[in-house]
Amino acid sequence: MRYRDFLRSELSGIVSNDFILPSGFHLVGHVALVHLDFETMRYAPLIGEKTLEYDKRIMSVAVRTGPTEGTTRLPSYELVAGDGNTVTTHIEGGVEFRLDPLCLTFSGGNRKERSRLSKLVKDDEVVVDMFSCVGQFALHIAKSAKVEVTAIEINPEAYQFLLENIKLNEMEDRVIALLGDCREVHPKRTASRVVMGYLHNTIEYLPFALETIVEDGGFIHMHMNVPESKLTDIIAKIEQVCRNYGYSSITSVHHVKNYSPGMGHYVFDIAAISEA
Ligand SMILES: C[S@@+](CC[C@H](N)C(=O)[O-])C[C@H]1O[C@@H](n2cnc3c(N)ncnc32)[C@H](O)[C@@H]1O
């Protein structure tokens, strides 16, 4: 039975049909993350208990209490049912990720992009992941090819999970983690490919990605939230920034997911070629 129908039947006589019940949840390891609207929020503990019954994989249920905020993308969730220990192991594409989804953002909507990118990477590449979090891109890439990956993360909590995940997946020989601001700690002139998995004004970080690729050029995958009407402007800006750093560029754009009304999450695949 579908989740919403299950909740509707379990809560009949308690929650009026006027209330909009959630159609699904985001499962990260054993933790179900549920979005309720303002009106339905008063039933959160009850919906939490029913969610535990709905799917036996779920041990903890948390509801969203506000927007994801700040540079470190801190989510706002509150535990409403089940196990208070929300540190969990999430498995995606054969990679194991330890994390606490109540403290860190792990987007299920980026799964296809992680898989697409991993297929582009060839053996012997040197890759830098500038916004690594717990290793979502870095570890997928390291699993799919014989590569050297440097994973940079500014948030000490995410960095600790990143270190744990490198060990857990036995990738110590391939993945190096750096704690710090990628604008300051990025390696210079070493990478064939740079991943920029961050959505907010990411183009401001492009000069640092251009300093990271080898002198001849390389590939940069720049994620960013952009209204569709602004895509051509962003491509023109990318060309300009690349030119300022001595590179010509060819950019193709892929839609990753809808972010908010009118705003899409896109990835700009940039081939930067030295003009020297
Ligand atoms: C929302 S996560 C995205 C994780 C992953 N790249 C993905 O796309 O699925 C963005 C991460 O970038 C980190 N971050 C933000 N600014 C940073 C910076 N200047 N240097 C390094 N990491 C940064 C945040 O702490 C957060 O863990």
ipTM confidence:
0.99
32 Cα: distance to centroid of ligand 1 (angstroms): 22
Is the same domain home to 133 and 263? yes
What's the CATH number where 192 sits? 3.40.50.150
Domain count, the chain: 2
Instruction: For the chain, 276 residues long, give each residue's pLDDT as a single digit of tens.
Output: 999 999 999 999 999 988 999 999 999 999 999 999 999 999 999 999 999 999 999 999 999 999 999 999 999 999 999 999 999 999 999 999 999 999 999 988 889 999 999 999 999 999 999 999 999 999 999 999 999 999 999 999 999 999 999 999 999 999 999 999 999 999 999 999 999 999 999 999 999 999 999 999 999 999 999 999 999 999 999 999 999 999 999 999 999 999 888 899 999 999 999 998
Task: Give a yes or no: residue 102 inside a domain.
Answer: no
Dihedral of the CA atoms 95, 139, 249, 188 (nearest 10)?
180
d(C-alpha 137, C-alpha 140), whole Å: 5
What's the CATH number where 74 sits? 3.30.300.110
- C-beta of 274 in contact with ligand 1 (< 6 A): no
pLDDT at 230: 96
Which of 31, 52, 86 is at the close of a domain? 86
Is the same domain home to 154 and 205? yes
Q: How far, in whole angstroms, is CA 244 from its chain's centroid? A: 29
The candidate with the shortest Cα–Cα distance to 134, out of 90, 174, 173, is 90
Q: How far is CA 87 from CA 28, 30, 140, 203, in A?
A: 10, 9, 20, 33
Dig out the tokens for 27 from the structure.
């499962």
Cβ neighbours of 125 (radius 10 Å) = 18
- C-beta of 60 in contact with ligand 1 (< 6 A): no
- C-beta of 213 in contact with ligand 1 (< 6 A): no
> Range of 17's domain?
3-86
Measured by CA distance, the residue closest to atom 24 of ligand 1 is 72
Atom number, ligand 1, closest to the C-alpha of residue 181: 20
Is the same domain home to 177 and 258? yes
Is the same domain home to 142 and 222? yes
Report the first-to-last Cα separation within the chain, whole angstroms: 62
Task: Give a yes or no: residue 26 inside a domain.
Answer: yes
131 Cα: distance to centroid of ligand 1 (angstroms): 4
Is the same domain home to 138 and 169? yes
30 Cα: distance to centroid of ligand 1 (angstroms): 23
Task: Give a yes or no: residue 231 inside a domain.
Answer: yes
Measured by CA distance, the residue closest to atom 25 of ligand 1 is 72
Ordered DSSP codes for 111-163: HHHHHHHHHH--TT-EEEESS-TTTHHHHHHHHHSS-EEEEEES-HHHHHHHH
